[in-house]
Chain A
C-alpha cells in the first residue's frame, strides 16, 4: 500500500507525457505520521482561488492526529474541505476523467481511494443572445459552451423533478460528455431507447460539435437532404420541445443543442410565433411557407418560363424581360446558375471575413459586382432580381437553407433541360423522398402527411394559447410513428 502516490504520479506523467498543464502540488498534512499527499489539477480548468480556499488551506490547517490515510480521506470529506462537490473514486480512468473535467484530485500516499473536488473555474463565453436565432420578444439568453451551464439554463425554466439529464460519453479519443435531456412523463421510453442506442453506436474518435452526432441520429435509409435532427441555441426553444415529448442532447463545448425528433413543419415555427398575437403569428407563418416555396421554385420557374414557355409571362413583364435577356451573352439557365453561385461565394466570404471588412464586401458584392454586371450587359436585371429575392426568402426559414439551396440548383438545371415538366417531376420525387423520411421513427412530414387534423392548429395557423394550451400533442402520438 505504501508509495501509491509515486505510482499515481508516475502513471499520470506517462499518460499526459509530462504535459506542461498537469500540475501536481505535493503536500504534507499536519498529523502524527506526517501523511504525504498531492493535489493534482490541470492548469486553466480550475479556479485557483477556490482551490486555495476550499481545498489547500483547510487541508494544511487541519490536524489529522494519528489518522491512517483512509481515515484521513473520510475526514477530508466530512470535516475539512468546503467544496460542495466531492466524489470518492479509485480508478485511473476516473482520475483522468475528473482531471480533464476541471476537478482537483486529492491523493494521499498509502491510500487507494482518491477524492475529486469540484473547483472548476475555466473561463468561458458568457450567456448571450444567439446570433442565429434572434427574437423580437422572448428571452435574450442563449446556450453557451459549458455543459453544466446549459443544463442549469434548462433546469431554471422547467422546475419539475420529471426533467431528467442522463450523462453519456462519446468520442473514443475526445471523451466528450453529452447529456440526454427529457421530461420523463412526456417523452416516449421507446424514443429514448432508440436515441441511446444510436449514440452508443457512434464510434467517432472526436466529437467537437453537435453536428458530428446529427448524422448518427438520422433514421437509416431515409433521405439525407432534409435533416431529421433539429439544432437550437435557445433554452426556451429546447424547453418547449421537451414538453412536446422530444429529447434534447447537450454536447459539452458547444452551444448548439440537438433536438430529436425534428419534423418538417417545425422549421416554420419560431419562438416569436408564440409571443405574438395568434392572427399575426398566423400571417407570419403563411409568409414563411410562401418564402420557402419562392426560395425553392422562383429561379427554376423563371428559367422554365424564359426558356420554354414565354407565353405564360404577363405581357408587361414579358417585354422588359425579353429585352433585358436579349442583350446578355449567356443563356438564361447559365445566367441564373452563375448568379446563384456568385451569391453563395459572397455569402461564404461574408461569413468568414472579419466584421470590419463586412461593409466593404457588401459594397463590392452588391454595388460593384451586381450593378456593374447589369450595366455591362453580362447579366440581366430581371435575373438578378429573381435570384436575389429567392436568396433572401431562403433566410426566412434559415434551418432549411442547405436543402433549399441544393433543391434550387437541381431545379434550375432541370428547368433548363426540361422546363416546367422537369420541375414537376423533380418536385414529385422530392415529395416522395420527404414523405419517406422519418426522424426516430416519427414520419418527417407528420401533420401534413400523414395528415393530423388536431395538429393543424399549429401548422399553417397558430391557434390561440387557450386552444394550444388545452392539450399538448406529444410527438410520439403522431400517426404512423414506428412502435418497435
Chain B
C-alpha cells in the first residue's frame, strides 16, 4: 500500500506542471482597470496594473477588440497578464455601440473574468484623469454605487448588462456614464442591443 502510494506520488511530482505554470504573485501583472478610447480611427485599450506607486502603471495597446487586446497584451506587452481581478472596464462614450456589446459578449465567454466587475461609459477627460491620478478608481467605484442607489434600474456589472442586453432588444439598457464637468459626476446612458 505504502509502496503503491509512494510510486504514485513520485509520478505525480515528476509530471505535474506545478510551479512552472503557476501564476506567481511576484511576477503576475494583475490588471484592475481597463479603459477603451479611440484616436484617429484606432481603438486603444489601456491596461492599468495593480501597484502601490503614486502614478498608475499603464500599458496602451492598439487593438480592434478586447479579445485582440488581451491576446496582444499576453504575446507582446504583458507576458504574465492576469485579468482575474479586473474591477472596472471604462469605455469612451463614443464607442458605446461599437465596443460595448462586442467586448461584453467576449467577456461572457471567458472563464477568468469576474462576472461582477463594473462597466461604465466615460467622457475623454474622465478617462484621462483615471490614467493620471492615483486612487481615482475607488472614487469612480463609489460614484457608481451611489448612482445605482439613486437609480436602481442602472446596470453596473457586465453580468447584468449582458443579461439585460440578451433579453431586451427594444427598450435599451441603462448604464452608468461618468463625465468630468469640473468634478467626476455620474449620469445615465442607454445602450441598445445590436441587431445581428
Contacts and interface: CB of A to CB of B under 8 A. Distances in A.
Q: Do chains A and B touch in the complex (CB under 8 A)?
A: yes
Interface of A: 305-311, 313, 315, 318-323, 325-326, 331-333, 416-419
Contacts of B167: none
B25 A322 contact: yes
Interface string B126-168: 0000000000000000000000000000000000000000000
A202 B32 CA distance: 65
Interface in B5-57: 12-13, 16, 18-19, 22-28, 30, 32, 50-52
A305 B26 CA distance: 11
A313 B28 CA distance: 13
A320 B26 CA distance: 10
Give the interface SS of chain B, mostly helix, strand, loop or mixed: loop
A417 B18 contact: yes
Interface string B89-116: 0000000000000000000000000000
A308 B28 CA distance: 10
B18 A321 contact: no
18 contacts: A305-B25, A306-B24, A308-B22, A310-B23, A310-B28, A310-B82, A311-B84, A311-B85, A319-B51, A322-B25, A322-B26, A331-B19, A332-B25, A333-B19, A417-B12, A417-B19, A418-B16, A419-B22
A150 to B, nearest CB: 39
B85 A315 contact: yes
Contacts of B28: 310, 322
Given A306-B26, A322-B26, 7 more contacts: A310-B24, A310-B82, A311-B85, A319-B52, A322-B25, A416-B18, A419-B22
A418 B23 contact: no
Contacts of B50: 315, 318-319
Contacts of A333: 19
Contact of A321 (B13, B16, B25, B85): B25
A319 B32 CA distance: 12
B80 to A, nearest CB: 10
A306 B25 contact: yes
Given A311-B82, A319-B51, A325 B25 contact: yes
Contacts of A308: 22-23
What 5 pairs across the A-B complex have the smallest Cβ distances? A311-B84, A310-B25, A326-B26, A325-B26, A306-B25
A29 B156 CA distance: 110
A332 B28 CA distance: 14
Contacts of B30: 310-311, 318, 322
Contacts of A310: 23-25, 28, 30, 82, 85
A309 B26 CA distance: 12
A461 B51 CA distance: 44
Contacts of B23: 307-311
Q: Name the residue in B22, B23, B85 with the highest tally of chain A Cβ atoms < 10 Å from its Cβ.
A: B22
Contacts of A331: 19, 24
A305 B85 CA distance: 13
A233 B30 CA distance: 54
A320 B53 CA distance: 11
Contacts of A315: 32, 50, 85
A452 to B, nearest CB: 30
Nearest to B5: A429
B3 to A, nearest CB: 16
A332 B84 contact: no
Contacts of A325: 25-26
B19 A313 contact: no
Contacts of A313: 25
Contacts of A305: 25
A481 B36 CA distance: 67
Given A323-B52, A416-B19, A307 B25 contact: yes
A418 B12 CA distance: 10
B50 to A, nearest CB: 6
Nearest to A319: B52
A185 to B, nearest CB: 42
A418 B84 contact: no
A320 B51 CA distance: 9
Interface in B52-103: 52, 82, 84-85
A119 B82 CA distance: 80
Contacts of B25: 305-307, 310, 313, 318, 321-322, 325, 332
A307 B84 CA distance: 15
A392 B27 CA distance: 30
Nearest to B87: A315
A432 to B, nearest CB: 13
Contacts of B27: 326
A417 B24 contact: no
A306 B51 CA distance: 16
A258 B193 CA distance: 75
Nearest to B112: A311
Nearest to B51: A319
B52 A320 contact: yes
A313 B84 CA distance: 11
B24 A307 contact: yes
Nearest to B24: A307
A311 B30 CA distance: 8
A322 B30 CA distance: 10
A417 B52 contact: no
A445 to B, nearest CB: 21
Contacts of B85: 310-311, 315, 318
Contacts of A320: 52
A379 to B, nearest CB: 13
